[in-house]
């Protein structure tokens, strides 16, 4: 097993043990972060499906009313009415933090619906198209918020998993191997020192006995 290129001494051993403890605490925190990110991703994915369904429903409704309007008033009249329409929406984007990840918060404000086209060559079906599109805009803003958030969360969980793998498979085993090597080396030196000490004491006793 590979180990760090450090001298086997008590100072390095204590430092490595402290760093290993920090690494294990960090691994535990990263694992908790991964679990929290996964749970939030699952929640947002479910919400995205629900909002996407509502958005598609609103767009399908708009298309259905548009078909009715084209049949009732003709394509040129519908195109002129479309050119006159302005939703007047206001979009604001801010951010909130989740586990260190900046997630967007999108808010779309729409003014009260007032048709900008006249009554000539228009009808209720055109009003219905405009209203359905306005509803879909709210869902589009919410879906954009969710999907951008999911993109950022997925990138963050990938980075988190890489850090976890690096700690589990590289750094912690490397520190463990180095610490075990240092402990073995220091124990061997201590045994050698005690052996030499006993040997010197034994020789000292023999000299004193001979002198006497």
Domain extents for the chain?
10-207
pTM (two decimals): 0.75
First to last CA, the chain: 55
Angle made by CA atoms 200, 204, 208, in degrees to the nearest 5: 175
What is the per-residue pLDDT for 212? 43
Per-residue pLDDT tens for 27-75?
Answer: 999 999 999 999 999 999 999 999 999 999 988 988 888 888 888 778 8
Compute the average pLDDT of residues 127-137.
Answer: 81
The architecture (CATH level 2) of 10-207 comes to: Orthogonal Bundle (1.10)
Compute the Cα dihedral for 74, 79, 80, 81 and give only its sign: positive
Quote the percentage of the chain above a pLDDT of 90.
47
What is the per-residue pLDDT for 114? 64
């Amino acid at each position: 097993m590979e180990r760090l290129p450090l001298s086997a001494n008590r100072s390095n051993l204590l430092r490595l043990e402290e760093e290993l403890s920090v690494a294990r605490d960090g691994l535990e925190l990263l694992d908790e972060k991964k679990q929290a990110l996964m749970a939030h991703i699952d929640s947002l994915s479910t919400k995205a499906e629900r909002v996407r369904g509502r958005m598609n429903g609103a767009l399908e409704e708009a298309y259905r009313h548009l078909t009715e309007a084209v049949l009732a008033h003709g394509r040129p009249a519908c195109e002129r009415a479309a050119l006159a329409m302005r939703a007047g929406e206001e979009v604001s984007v801010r951010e909130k933090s989740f586990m260190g990840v900046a997630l967007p918060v999108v808010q779309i404000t729409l003014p009260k619906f007032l048709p900008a086209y006249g009554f000539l060559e228009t009808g209720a079906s055109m009003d219905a198209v405009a209203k359905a599109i306005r509803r879909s805009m709210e869902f589009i803003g919410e879906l954009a918020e969710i999907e951008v958030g999911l993109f950022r969360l997925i990138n963050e969980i990938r980075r988190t998993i890489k850090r976890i793998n690096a700690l589990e498979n590289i750094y912690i085993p490397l520190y463990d191997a180095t610490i075990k090597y240092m402990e073995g080396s220091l124990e061997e030196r201590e045994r050698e020192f005690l052996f030499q000490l006993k040997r010197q004491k034994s020789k000292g006793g023999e000299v004193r006995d001979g002198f006497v």
